[in-house]
Amino acid sequence: MKILVLNSGSSSLKFQLFDMPSEKVLTKGLVERIGEKQGNFKAGNAIIEKPIANHHEAMQLITNYLLDRKNQLIQSKDEIKIIGHRVVHGGNRFVQPVVISEEVKDKIKELFPLAPLHNPANLTGIETAEKIFPNAIQIGIFDTAFHQSIPIENHKYAIPEKFYKQGIRKYGFHGISHKYVSEQALKKDKNNKKIITLHLGNGASATAVVNGKSFDTSMGFGPMNGLIMGTRSGDIDQSIIFYLAEQKNYPLSEIKNILNKKSGMTALAGNNDLRDIEQRAKHDDIQAQTALKMYANAIKKYIGDFTAKMNGLDALIFTAGIGENSTIIRKLTTVNMDFLGIVIDEEKNQNPNEFDGEIQASDSKIKIYVIPTNEELEIAKQAFELYQNNI
C-alpha cells in the first residue's frame, strides 16, 4: 500500500511516499518558499525554481512529480490510498491518530491560537490534499498525542482549577519525533527504560520517556517555552511580559511576536543559524560563545530535572538538525555531567555514524546516542496501523 506523508509548514511542504508495511521510501522531497518571489521544488533529480503562489500549487507540483512516468512512482492518483498529515497541536481531544473529518478540521481551527505558526499551515495542507486526492483517506497524526501519557503532577499548572478544566495544561510538542527516537533506543537496548530525548532544531524540546511513554516534557501549553530555540525565547520570568506591557507600553501582539520570532538564538547572537554561530564562536566571538553556553545550559537544566523525577537515567538521545549534526552542542551539553554518569567520548562525538550512533565514553554510566529522527516514517506507521485496525 502506498502512503503519502505531508508535513506542511507556513511556507514549505515536505513529503515522502512510502510502501507499507515494508516501510520502503519510494521518494521524498520538499517545496520551499511558498508565497515568495521565487520558490523551489526538490525531489530525486528534479529541481524546479519558479514562483509558487500557495500550497495548492505546491501540492500540484508534488502530484505531477509522482505521476511523471519516467519516475515510475504511481500510475494514477488512486494508487495513494492514505495521506498522513503532521498536525502540531491536538489539545486534549486528539490522543490517537484520526481520520480527518469536518469535525476534526473544525477542532484544528479552534486550536489555532495555541499553535499559530503551525496549525494553520497543517490545516492548509490537509485541505489542499483533500482537493487533489479526493479518494484518499486523510489521517491526522498529532505532535501532542504522545505526551497525553504525562501524569497530572507533571502536566498541571499551579493556577486556579477553573483554567485546568478549560484545558489549560502542559501539552508538549515534537511528540512524533520523541516517540520515534525513544523506540529506536529501546531497539538498541531493551534496558533503556528511562530515557531523555533531545529534539534540537530551530524548534527544540526535551522529553522524559519511561517504559516507552512520555513522562514529562519541556514545552507546555504552547510551543514557545522550555529550551532556548532559534527564534523562540524558551523559559523566561512571566514578570517580563507584564513589565513590557504595563511599564513599557508594548502591545501584547508585539510581545508575542518578540518572544516567538525575535528571541532565542536570534536575540542572543543576531542569527538563528547555529552553523554560523559556531563558526563565530571558534573565532573567539564572545557573543556567539555566550549564546552557545546558554543554549547548552538550558538543556542541562532539563536533564537534571527529568533525571530527578525519573529517579535515574539509562539513555540520553540527541536528534533533529542540531542534535544530529552539532558536535559542539553535544559536547557543551554533556560536559561536567559526570556526576550524573554522563560522559561523552570526544572521538565518537566527532563521528557518531562510525560507532552506530553511540558516543558515550567507556566509563559513562549512561548511554548517549545520536539517532536521526524520521517523523515521516512514524506518521506512515501510525496511519497504516489505524487503517489496518479500524478502516
The answer to whether residues 18 and 114 belong to one domain is yes
Residue type, 298: A
Average pLDDT estimate for 205-230: 95
Of 137, 140, 106, nearest to 8 by C-alpha is 140
In a domain, 147, yes or no: no
Question: What mean pLDDT, rounded, does the chain reach?
Answer: 92
- DSSP H or E stretch at residue 278: helix 274-282
**Global model pTM greater than 0.75:** yes
CA pair distance 61, 58, nearest whole angstrom: 5
Domain assignment of residue 49, given as a range: 2-142
Range among 23-37, 106-120, 365-379 with highest mean pLDDT value: 365-379
Residue 9 has pLDDT above 80, yes or no: no
Q: Are residues 241 and 344 in the same domain?
A: yes
Amino acid at position 180, single letter: Y
pLDDT for the residue 368:
97
Q: What is the dihedral of CA 39, 87, 85, 104, to 10 degrees?
A: -120
Residues 59 and 196 in one domain: no
- Whether residue 178 lies inside any domain: the answer is no
**Half-sphere exposure (Cβ direction) of 84: Cα atoms closer than 13 Å:** 30
Count up the domains in the chain and report the number.
2
Q: Is 198 left (phi over 0), alpha (psi -120 to 50) or beta?
A: beta
* 58 shares its domain with 194: no
Do 293 and 220 reside in the same domain of the chain?
yes
17 contact partners, CB below 8 Å, separation of at least 6: 2, 3, 4, 5, 25, 26, 27, 28, 66, 73, 74, 80
pLDDT at position 297, please? 97
- The verdict on 136 and 198 lying in the same domain is no
- Same domain for 239 and 136? no
Higher pLDDT: 314 or 125? It is 314
Provide the pLDDT confidence category of residue 194 given band limits of 50, 70 and 90: very high
Same domain, 222 and 73: no
Q: Is 166 domain-assigned?
A: no
CATH number, domain of 354, equals 3.30.420.40
Percent of the chain with pLDDT over 70: 99
pLDDT at 390 over 90: no
The answer on 313 and 233 residing in a single domain is yes
* Band (391; pLDDT cuts 50, 70, 90): low
In a domain, 315, yes or no: yes
Instruction: Let me know if residue 216 belongs to a domain.
Output: yes
For 115-166, the pLDDT digits (tens) are 777 788 888 889 888 988 899 999 999 989 999 999 999 999 999 999 999 9
Q: Which three cell numbers stand for residue 195?
A: 530515557
Measured distance CA(326)–CA(219) in Å, rounded: 22
Residue 319 is assigned to a structural domain of this protein: yes
pLDDT of residue 10 exceeding 70:
no
Instruction: Name the residue with higher pLDDT: 41 or 8.
Output: 41
**Which of 110, 142, 174 represents a domain boundary (last residue)?**
142
pLDDT at 202: 87
Q: Could you say which of 112, 127, 142 is where a domain stops?
A: 142
Residue 63 to residue 65: CA distance in whole angstroms: 5
Is 151 a domain residue?
Answer: no
Residue 132: its pLDDT value, please? 86
Residue 122 sits in the same domain as residue 210: no
Residue 169 is predicted with a pLDDT of 94
- Can you tell me which residue has the cell 523551489? 40
143 is catalytic: yes
Which of these three, 123, 142, 161, is where a domain ends? 142
Same-domain check for residues 286 and 360: yes
Number of residues that this document lists for the chain = 391
Classify 126 as helix, strand or coil. helix
Nearest to 109 by CA among 140, 84, 134: 140
Which of 143, 216, 314, 345 is an active site residue? 143
| pLDDT tens per residue, range 48-98 | 999 998 888 888 899 989 998 888 898 888 899 999 999 988 888 888 899
Residue 117 lies in a domain: yes
pLDDT tens digit string along 347-389? 999 999 999 999 999 999 999 999 999 999 999 999 999 988 8
